[in-house]
């Protein structure tokens, strides 16, 4: 609330969105259906932004696909190094 008050004190017409954001949806492309949030939040009404919906809100339309591409490329590039590191734990 202090953040909202501060922002609106500077600009009474500012658009302020408050809600819950979850950057990762383990069920993608399916809906997020974690039982701990059911009944607490309206998961389909914009009160909770999950995964793709969150990233597109923060970064603009279709940024989620760009992020997936970056993670895919980075994962492929670092795979040998990661495999070597994980082998230490076997």
* Per-residue pLDDT tens digits for 1-35: 777 888 889 988 988 888 889 999 999 888 888 77
Mean pLDDT over residues 43-69, rounded?
A: 90
pLDDT at 73: 97
Q: Cβ(58)–Cβ(30) under 8 Å? A: no
| R_g over Cα of the chain | 18
Q: What is the pLDDT of residue 32?
A: 84
H or E segment at 25?
none
Separation CA 65–CA 56 (nearest Å): 9
Between 18-27, 61-70, 77-86, the lowest mean confidence (pLDDT) is in: 18-27
The set of long-range contacts for 54-59, using a CB threshold of 8 Å and a minimum separation of 24, is: 54/21, 54/22, 54/23, 55/23
Q: Residue 14: its pLDDT value, please? A: 87
Q: How far apart are CA 52 and CA 46, in angstroms?
A: 13
Total number of residues shown for the chain: 90
pLDDT at 77: 97
């Amino acid at each position: 609330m202090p953040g909202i008050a501060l922002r609106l004190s500077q600009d009474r017409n500012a658009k302020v969105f408050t809600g819950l954001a979850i950057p990762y949806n383990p069920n993608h492309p399916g809906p997020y259906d974690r039982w701990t949030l059911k009944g607490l939040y309206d998961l389909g009404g914009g009160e909770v932004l999950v995964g793709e919906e969150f990233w597109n809100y923060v970064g603009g339309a279709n940024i989620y696909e760009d992020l997936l591409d970056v993670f895919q490329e980075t994962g492929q590039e670092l795979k040998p190094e990661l495999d070597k590191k994980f082998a230490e734990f076997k």
